[in-house]
Chain A
């Protein structure tokens, strides 16, 4: 069974600094997708960044980038120039390419931005 582990229940960072959130996963599949979602107090899950496992190049979206290490089954999220609006719960998620679009989520990391 696929599992996703986020080992940091809470993280904090000074505004304008850089923070990295960790995620590891377990799967026997060779092709899959990985995602980072942000959940602010409004509760809606917002897609931050996605990575296709067959792509070696790490995904980047503005201030957000990932470090995808397929052999190590690691998928960390780096947030540069942290802003107060980045404060939220962050969830790492995994999905197989074939079959039902079931997302497997980690337990989440609460990110606090200190002004």
Chain B
């Protein structure tokens, strides 16, 4: 079974630009969540997608948006990039909306640097 795949692995963008990060969920998983991990910090929940609908959101502004596709893969879009958006962005998938108690399967993340 395949794990969670994220692309690209690294990205450098200029302040004010827009970025799209991609995530392929693990086979059999229909729920995808995105997390932002600033350097030296724990991950912070951005939002979650289930059956192509956003069904939970953390304390992030609207310029953070997402999509989930019929094959359960997902995109995270960030508009008007700010320097503080520099972070590791982690995608995680799980088997169902209510989840099980096994937690998520995480990808290796995309390291975004905003200059």
Contacts and interface: CB of A to CB of B under 8 A. Distances in A.
Nearest to B46: A102
Interface of B: 31, 33, 35, 40-45, 48, 55-56, 58, 88, 90, 92, 94, 97-99, 101-104, 106-109, 111
B31 A101 contact: yes
A105 interface: yes
Contacts of B31: 101
A105 B92 CA distance: 14
A45 B4 CA distance: 11
B109 A106 contact: no
B45 A44 contact: no
A102 B91 CA distance: 12
Contact of A105 (B42, B97, B98, B108): B42
B108 A43 contact: yes
Contact of B42 (A44, A52, A100, A106): A106
B60 to A, nearest CB: 12
**Interface magnitude class on chain A:** 20 to 34
Interface string A61-95: 00000000000000000000000000000010101
Interface in A44-59: 44-47, 50, 52
A50 B109 contact: no
A45 B97 CA distance: 20
B48 A43 contact: no
Given A43-B88, A101-B48, A107 B102 contact: no
Contacts of B99: 95, 101
A35 interface: yes
B106 to A, nearest CB: 4
Nearest 3 pairs between A and B by C-beta?
A100-B56, A105-B42, A45-B106
Nearest to A51: B101
